Amino acid sequence: MDFINIHADLSIVTLVIQASLIVKIVLGILLLASFWSLLRIAMKYLQLRRARREVITFEDQFWRGGDINAIHQSLGNVRTGDGLENIFASGFREYQKHKKQASSREVTVESTRRAMNVAYRRELDSIESGLPGLATIGSVSPYIGLFGTVWGIMNAFRGLASVSQATLAQVAPGIAEALIATAIGLFAAIPAAIAYNRFVNDVDRLATSYETFIEEFANILLRQS
């Protein structure tokens, strides 16, 4: 009969409601962190998928052998896209400016490369935004949950100080309350850590594509100059 009562009192909702203030604060922090990380994961996934699609589309258009001026005109004189489109447009505008100024070939190509590198850094900053937050949640959340666990267990044993004989019914709620904090900490950390590792790999692949295009486009301009 005692086990039935104990089991009924150990529902997650009941344990959370009866948890100490510190444990409730810990749970609140972890739930907010988990919500933020899941939202960031969804947004970053869509952003990287769009970036990969734009790389494939633009490279297909560029390497089909079309006229560079026509490609630039199709993009317009203002920024119309991200990724390689923006890098190409930034470099080509710089190239045209130096051609009008009759600059030397070396100066023209070097200035064009610098313009593309600036655009490349901006694109990389954009696709890397939010990743440090995921890394922080993935590494810190288990420790925050562990803090809640330690605090809950400490309260459970403090409650036994005035009791002459400890029973499972007296200890179980406090320990179960403490373990919830650990579970929520892992729930927040695991998706964030997995997504961070996946996204870092995707960002590295995009960065390689950008860098390769910059060098190849600079070589094309060098030959045309």
Domain residue ranges in the chain: 2-224
The token duo for 149 is 């666990």
Across 19-23, 80-84, 196-200, least confident range = 80-84
Give the CA distances from residue 91 to residues 69, 71, 149, in Å, rounded to whole numbers and listed in that order: 12, 13, 55
pLDDT at 167: 62
DSSP element (H, E) containing 148: helix 131-158
Across 146-150, 163-167, 172-176, 196-200, least confident range = 163-167
Residue 105 has pLDDT above 60, yes or no: yes
Residue 95 has pLDDT above 90, yes or no: no
pLDDT at 107: 83
Q: How far apart are the first and last CA of the chain?
A: 90
pLDDT tier, 20 (very low <50, low <70, confident <90, very high otherwise)? confident
Give the CA distances from residue 156 to residues 5, 26, 65, 222, in Å, rounded to whole numbers and listed in that order: 18, 17, 73, 74
Residue, of 40 and 222, whose pLDDT is higher: 40
Q: Which of 74, 65, 111, 60 minimizes the C-alpha distance to 90?
A: 111
Residue 216 has pLDDT above 50, yes or no: yes
pLDDT in tens, 201-213: 999 999 999 999 9
Instruction: Report the alpha-carbon distance of residue 155 to residue 144 in Å, rounded.
Output: 17
pLDDT in tens, 30-42: 999 999 999 999 9
pLDDT in tens, 151-168: 888 877 776 666 666 566
